[in-house]
A and B are shown apart, each in its own frame.
Chain A
Amino acid sequence: MKIAVCVKQIPEGAHRRIDPTSKRLDRSGEGALNPFDANAVEEALKLKESTDEAEVVVLSLGPAKAQDALRKALAMGVDRAVLVSDDAAAGSDLIATSYALGRALERERPDLILFGQQAGDSDGAVLWAAVADRLRRPMVSQAAELEHADGSVTVKRQTEFGYDVIEAPLPAVVAVSDAINQPRYPSLKGIMGAKSKPQETLALAELGIEADRAGEEGSRTEVYALNDPPARGENRRVEDDGSAAEKVVEFLVEKRLV
């Protein structure tokens, strides 16, 4: 079985800002593997460990230095990494990103494609569905448990209404929730070994991706302006001297909430 895990490198939390000129997330500083993607990597490794023959490959679209994030996945135990990196891909939105990833995945032809539940920087939580549609494959999101048997996966997942149990035939696309597992830390041996594992970088042209389907040109959304958030609330405060409950009720009455 071949498992592909789609991951993203995101800027470290403290450095996260939007560049006012390009109106894009500033990706010039230190980056890290999106923590939600570590859950998908962990799940792929668990599946590999419970299967006789399996290969796990991580795949990403991003700047050249995203190799660092991929190396962390390799250190965790992933077999090899593929990075699609091209200046022309900068600023890709969902449409352009899903197209490029789709092409890279067609080249790999995995049996199972895993995603994490969201990007820690943009809060995007939809990419898998666009990729699954491009590949015309069955898709399940929010997996909290994943089992593989006889050419299909069974997923227990969380929704607003409780838990669903869903079966999807392979090849399939599954997005896992961060409740599914606790990602392992790379061992020292893993970190040392990662350096000798195959790490491939592909330009868009190598995947046959037309320049007008990538980056801003290939995107269908745009950013017009950045604004300050609205001011919040009136911020009253009381210290409880035994009468706080009465004060809360007075406040709720004043706001016509009771």
Chain B
Amino acid sequence: MRTLVFLEHHAGELLKGPLGVLSKAASLGDSDVAAAVVGSGVRQLAGEAGTFGASRVYVADDPQLEAPLPQPRVDVLARLVRDRGFDNVFLANSVLAADVAAALAARLDAGLNWDLTDVVGEDGRLVGRRPALQDSVYVDVGWKGTPRIALFRSGSFDPMVTGGRAQLEDAPVELEEFSMGVRMLEQAHEESEGPSIEDADVVVAGGRGLGGPENFTLVEELANALGGAVGATRAVVDAGWYPYSTQVGQTGKTVSPKLYIACGISGAIQHKVGMQSSGVIVAINKDPNAPIFEFADLGVVGDVHQVVPKLTELIRQRRGQ
């Protein structure tokens, strides 16, 4: 079984999500796990993939691939899969990767299963696990024939350093005319300081219960003390209290940090699906009936304005800050 993992990158770094998927692919017992790095000036990055379990990295390095747009990436990956006969193509979910995965499926007439949280080899076949209907049911899904394309939920796997070295190989870049139609006029740059919310080990998130945008400083200070990132709910993003790039939930980011601290968040389903796979969930809310207490590991019934600043202070003391 030969697997190709699409390694997305941003601002000169490979993203943690796809590196986790790469480690997962390497753990399935394949001797030959390959990765693809597509972009402009990315040769250096490609070399780093060996450390996470890739035995071979295909590098498509071309100025035409500078902007992170999906269609040129589909051209490159489709060619690789056809020429090299991969059985599986794995991707970690993102705005870019979802578009790449679906267009690649159409191009190759291949099955795509998305939102997977795990994949296992069972009786010689590959089985994907997908939570469905607001995670109330876990569906075992499969593929008819190859290649099988799998898009994994963000944060499903941790990257594991194997210390190996990958052999680099140039991937041919031949782009379709329609793939070159879209032009990036302005490209997004990281707006927030500190770790990006999807890659952070700790996320401290704020909701309506904070009472107003000015109180987000409570959340920011706690995140800062813990070396984490700040998240927000749909409600407060809609109200303009905090930027969309921090939104956690069904229509925002899906995060699974080691620790998630929810401050003044009720735990509506729209938010829950974005953070419930976090390692440990601590919730602080003054409403004892808030749904978030049903799935929090530790629930504090109390006023965020009292509890959060104290907590920040105690953590700072502990860490000698």
Contacts and interface: CB of A to CB of B under 8 A. Distances in A.
Interface stretch (B25-33, B53-61, B135-143): B135-143
B239 interface: no
Contacts of B293: 235, 237
Contacts of B259: 252, 255, 257
Contact-residue bracket for chain B: 35 or more
Contact of A139 (B101, B103, B191, B282): B103
Nearest to B186: A165
A203 interface: no
A18 B138 CA distance: 11
Given A129-B103, A220-B143, A221-B142, A248 B114 contact: no
A239 B106 contact: no
Interface in B263-321: 276, 280-282, 284, 293-303, 306-307, 310-311, 313-315, 318-319
B310 A93 contact: no
A168 B182 contact: yes
Contacts of B100: 129
Nearest to B226: A258
Main secondary structure on A side of the interface with B: mixed
Contacts of A23: 139
A233 B318 CA distance: 26
A19 B286 CA distance: 39
Contacts, number: 261
Nearest to B257: A257
Contacts of B140: 223-227
Contacts of B151: 126
Interface in B88-144: 94-96, 98-107, 109-115, 127, 131-133, 135-144
Given A138-B71, A138-B178, A232-B276, A123 B250 contact: yes
Interface string A90-121: 00011100100000000000000000011001
B240 to A, nearest CB: 12
B188 A163 contact: yes
Contact-residue bracket for chain A: 35 or more
B95 A130 contact: no
Contacts of A230: 138
B139 A158 contact: no
A249 to B, nearest CB: 5
12 contacts: A94-B112, A95-B105, A138-B178, A138-B179, A165-B184, A165-B185, A222-B142, A226-B139, A238-B301, A248-B284, A252-B282, A258-B226
Interface of A: 16-18, 23, 93-95, 98, 117-118, 121-134, 136-142, 154, 157-169, 172, 177-179, 219-230, 232-240, 244-249, 251-252, 255, 257-258
Given A165-B186, A239-B302, 7 more contacts: A98-B106, A139-B71, A224-B140, A226-B137, A227-B140, A238-B300, A248-B298
